[in-house]
A and B are shown apart, each in its own frame.
Chain A
Amino acid sequence: MSTVLRTEALTRVLPGDVPTTLVENIDLEIARGEFVAIMGPSGSGKSSLLYLLGLLDMPSAGRVWLDDTLTTGLSEDHLAHIRLERIGFVFQFHFLLEEFSALDNVMLPMRKLARLEEDEARDKASELLRTFDLAEQMHKRPSQMSGGQRQRVAVARALANDPQLILADEPSGSLDTHASANVRDILHDLARNQNRAVVAVTHDPTFAQAADRRIFLVDGQLQPPERAATLFEVSVRR
């Protein structure tokens, strides 16, 4: 299995009068085709770790490699371009542009990358929406869709430029059980059948169960595998 993402002693401290350590000393490797769930209590630094992995935030110390490219220290514009090309994000609150239709939202990253002609992009976006069962919703605006539909549009948008890495922050956090299972299956499928790396932050054990690997964070620290297994058991029983 080839490694997509690797971190070394990743630390993020929020500066201030009382500096807050968000994550500390994280060593992580994520391979192609792997579906990894990041778990942990609220405030344990799950989302902070995800932002660091997604190059949205810059580490205070440590390094991040994406496909053997050392990303730490690159300019903000360079990082933005890497995100555009190689990383897809899905957030808890779908974060679609309200004024744009589902189709336009999915086309957004393609138009920004400008590698496809307008009509090619349109075809690809509608194809993506169709695979997520959104053919009917294509020209609707986010406000006219259900939460589950919106989240699937967000996933489709994350896939627009064929990234190898999909990062999801509580993708099912605001969804009902059915929609949540749907999104989980989609992410699972992306890893299993499309050989992408999927990293999802979740506090939902059912969701995490579908993952190939579960990572536990407590107070910004990565827990060793045995401890992680115990913690997961606890969270399932609860």
Chain B
Amino acid sequence: MNLAVSIALSHLLSRRRQTLVSLAGIGLGVAFFLAVSALMRGSEQDFMRRLVDNSAHITVYDEFRLAKPQAAELAAAHGAVEIHGVKPETEVRGIRQYKQKLDFVSRLPGLRVAPVLLGQAIFTFAGKDLGAAINGVEPDLMKNVSTIDQYFVSGSLASLHSDPDGIIIGTGLADKFRAKLGDKISVTSPTGLVRVMKIVALFRTGTASYDEGQTFIILKRAQTLLGRPNVANRFILKLDDPARAPVVAGQIERALGYKSQSWQEASEDIMNLVKIRNIIMYSVVAATLIVAAFGIYNVISTVVLEKTRDIAILKSIGFHARDIRLIFLIEGAVLGLVGSVLGTGLGLALMAGLARVEVKSPFITTQAFLPIYWGWDQMALAAGFAMGSALIAAYLPARKGGRVRPVDILRGAA
């Protein structure tokens, strides 16, 4: 065995209790680091997965980000033209010639797209009036871009095929009306048209506002009901790789001119929140490891103090200052390494324990557990941080040990 290593180990083994205490410090630090990080990252992933799954990756709106340039501005391209009193042009809302545009988008690689006509309507049942949104959809395309199919209590999107006057509503709205599957409900559009539609399916997502405020009917039916024949005002897209959403959204917006919003843009505030949460978490868990590093500093300082005689003898034999420093740095590294290994083991046990904790959510009917992230990168991070702080903690006393002048010690002892 290497000389410095064997001396370092002999020091650690001769002070078993202190060594164990500082190992426990590092080990617990790493374990808590892992457990907290696994839980936070797990819940973040779970949350992001829900966010990404439940929201459209890209939504194309029938809006423009910039107002159309005025003729006067176009005429003097580089002039300083200011025009007052311009009224917005009256235009038919909706994506123009949506079928060609849908065709164009659906030919882009790695994505699925569905058209939607979104409008408002008043629903009347048993003397009660409630407003809700109407989503005119094509069930076969819609089920590719939405997770709504997972949330049906009875029926499915395809149920719309069975009855052209069918409507799908959430359990929230149904509860308010005390309506059941198969009940007929009258729908009044903003244009004054009234239709009686039959509830063919019920869904429950767990988000109250969605369950009370969204309904689905066949696109064709929505177009007649809302008086907008051959029009859709949204494209909903899902990508195979959600991370590419901003790029693809830009591509579509450049081609079509319509505002295309990626999910990242739509939920920017949430992403920022997640970032802040991560910063808070990592500062807290890093603090536990820094505290543990003080334990290492303590044990190695004590060893240096206790072993000044040994240091003097080693130096008189011919050891260099750097040999002495190396011995104590190895002690720090060994403590950091063994502590990290023990801590990782304990951390994995904690994570396994946490993963078995059941969460009872009022909205989720299925059995759910605390989400845990099992990635190796956080273990590398915890171990790396532990090793780093152990080495820094060891370096200070090691440097002091290297500076011991044998003559000072020999004079004192003689």
Binding site for B on A (CB under 8 A): 47-48, 51, 54, 56-57, 76-77, 80-85, 89, 91-93, 95-100, 104, 108-109, 111-113, 157, 169-170
Contacts and interface: CB of A to CB of B under 8 A. Distances in A.
B407 A51 contact: yes
Contacts of B320: 76-77, 80-81
Nearest to A51: B407
A57 B413 CA distance: 16
Nearest to A167: B316
Nearest to A158: B317
Contacts of A100: 10
Interface string B307-333: 001101111111111110000000000
B14 A84 contact: no
A234 B372 CA distance: 86
Contacts of A108: 3, 314, 317
Contacts of B317: 83-84, 89, 108-109, 112, 157
Contacts of B318: 80-85, 109, 112-113
B407 A56 contact: yes
A95 B313 contact: yes
Interface residues of B, number: 27
Nearest to B413: A93
Contact of A56 (B14, B316, B414): B316
A112 B3 contact: yes
A4 B103 CA distance: 99
A92 B313 contact: no
B407 A95 contact: no
B7 interface: yes
A56 B316 CA distance: 7
A54 B323 contact: no
B3 A169 contact: no
B11 interface: yes
A60 to B, nearest CB: 13
A194 B364 CA distance: 90
Contacts of A91: 313, 410, 413-414
12 contacts: A48-B411, A57-B407, A76-B320, A84-B318, A91-B313, A91-B414, A92-B413, A93-B413, A96-B313, A109-B317, A112-B318, A157-B317
A51 B14 contact: no
Contacts of A54: 316
B257 interface: no
B13 interface: yes
Interface of B: 3, 6-7, 10-11, 13-14, 309-310, 312-323, 406-407, 410-411, 413-414
Give the interface centre of A47, A57, A80 by most chain B CB atoms within 10 Å.
Answer: A80
B14 to A, nearest CB: 5
Nearest to A169: B414
Contacts of B413: 91-93
A95 B309 contact: yes
B14 A97 contact: no
A49 to B, nearest CB: 12
Given A76-B320, A95-B309, A97-B7, 20 more contacts: A47-B411, A48-B411, A56-B410, A76-B321, A77-B321, A80-B315, A82-B318, A84-B317, A91-B313, A91-B410, A91-B413, A92-B414, A93-B413, A97-B10, A98-B14, A98-B310, A108-B3, A112-B3, A112-B318, A112-B319
Give the interface centre of B10, B14, B315, B410 by most chain A CB atoms within 10 Å.
Answer: B410
Contact of A169 (B13, B310, B323, B410): B410
Contacts of A113: 318
B13 A99 contact: yes
Nearest to A99: B10
A85 B317 CA distance: 9
Contacts of A80: 315, 318-320
Given A80-B319, A109-B317, A47 B14 contact: no
Contacts of A48: 411
A140 B310 CA distance: 18
Given A47-B414, A91-B410, A83 B323 contact: no
Nearest to A111: B3
A14 to B, nearest CB: 10
A96 B313 CA distance: 8
A47 B10 CA distance: 31
A222 to B, nearest CB: 20
Contact of B316 (A83, A92, A93): A83
A41 B32 CA distance: 63
Contacts of B3: 108, 111-112
